[in-house]
Amino acid sequence: MYGAGGQKRVPDDFARDFTIAWPPLTEQVAIAAFLDHETARIDALVEEQQRLIELLKEKRQAVISHAVTKGLDPDVPMKDSGVEWLGEVPAHWEVVRVKHSAKLESGHTPNKDKPEYWDGDIPWVSLNDSKQLASSDYIDKTKFTISALGIANSSARLLPAGAVVFTRDATIGLSAITGDEMAVSQHLIAWLCKDEIVIPEYLLLVFYAMKEELDRYTFGATIKTIGMPDIRSLVMPLPPLSEQILVIRNVFSQREKLDRLIAEAEMASHLLLERRSALISAAVTGKIDVRGWRPPDSAAAAPAKALLAQEAQS
């Protein structure tokens, strides 16, 4: 192929002279019937794996939400939080605005027409890092960096390690903890946790649990955003520091197990799709002989699902 971007194409003579294996019509019919049957079985297995992945992700979200809103003790006395998305919380927990537990810092973008402001040694978290924010609890590297001169000549601030960064535009509420001193763009905010009140990892879990609540605040037709007044009004459950530590340990441990199961299901799905592609390739190029093939009866097909999954994994 040649050409740039979305305009790639093959030369005319490639399309004109393209050569394929051309079996007799009876074999073409047999190949099509064989592949219709076998790929349908594989597709069903892939769909099952995808359903499993979705259930595991729902379970992971439920583990987070329950731990940070109900705690770990099922017998603890509860009270009405007065906040719809929280419902009842343990009676000895506080319910406070996030801004009372962590200092709110806004971000900024240095002048892009000043090259001396860019490509420095200060990581600068922007929407270009959204994929990393969506998949990791911590952020250590960013796509773009700025210089000390860029900090000095803009409203951007150098934030300490351990800040909880939070996207307020596009996808709302993508969060992670900074692993080093960093700055953020105006599309993000950062929360600097007060040591004696809240642990960064606990606040991070609160934002994870708050996902649906954050969606309620968003507005904008093209790029979704959440206004600063709404950010300042966000409310969180606040257990004692000792319980925050227990919640963090429990959730991180359970998430690790669920993430491992999700990865295994994703790998199984990937192997099944590879098996599907290889089967099609082998059948249409004559690597396997399907002449005389007939769909197996129901009795013979009963163990096929397990066998096919085993073959894909091997």
How do residues 129-161 score in pLDDT, each as one tens digit?
A: 999 999 999 999 999 999 999 999 999 999 999
- 78 pLDDT above the threshold of 80: yes
Q: pLDDT tens digit string along 34-54?
A: 999 999 999 999 999 999 999
- Claim to verify: residue 224 and residue 113 sit in the same structural domain: yes
User: Can you tell me the distance from the alpha carbon of 111 to that of 70, in angstroms, rounded to the nearest whole number?
Assistant: 46
The CATH number of the domain holding residue 78 is 1.10.287.1120
- Claim to verify: residue 105 and residue 86 sit in the same structural domain: no
User: Can you tell me the distance from the alpha carbon of 36 to that of 271, in angstroms, rounded to the nearest whole number?
Assistant: 19
- 307 pLDDT above the threshold of 80: no
- Claim to verify: residue 219 and residue 105 sit in the same structural domain: yes
The predicted pLDDT at position 314 comes to 55
The predicted pLDDT at position 193 comes to 96
What is the percent of the chain where pLDDT is above 70? 92
Distances (CA, A) of 183 to 108, 137, 155, 216: 8, 17, 10, 28
Distances (CA, A) of 71 to 74, 161, 238, 242, 248: 8, 27, 10, 12, 11
The predicted pLDDT at position 299 comes to 43
The predicted pLDDT at position 296 comes to 78
Domain span including residue 143:
94-238
**pTM more than 0.85:** no
Of 238, 254, 288, the last residue of a domain is 238
DSSP-based three-state secondary structure for 273: helix
Question: Whole-angstrom distance between the N-terminal and C-terminal Cα of the chain?
Answer: 34
- Claim to verify: residue 150 and residue 221 sit in the same structural domain: yes
DSSP-based three-state secondary structure for 30: helix
The predicted pLDDT at position 8 comes to 83
Of 238, 271, 290, the last residue of a domain is 238
User: Can you tell me the distance from the alpha carbon of 74 to that of 248, in angstroms, rounded to the nearest whole number?
Assistant: 17
Number of domains in the chain: 2
Q: pLDDT tens digit string along 229-261?
A: 989 999 999 999 999 999 999 999 999 999 999
Give the DSSP letter string of 150-176: HHHTSS---BPTT-EEEE-BSSTT-EE
Residue 279 within a domain: yes
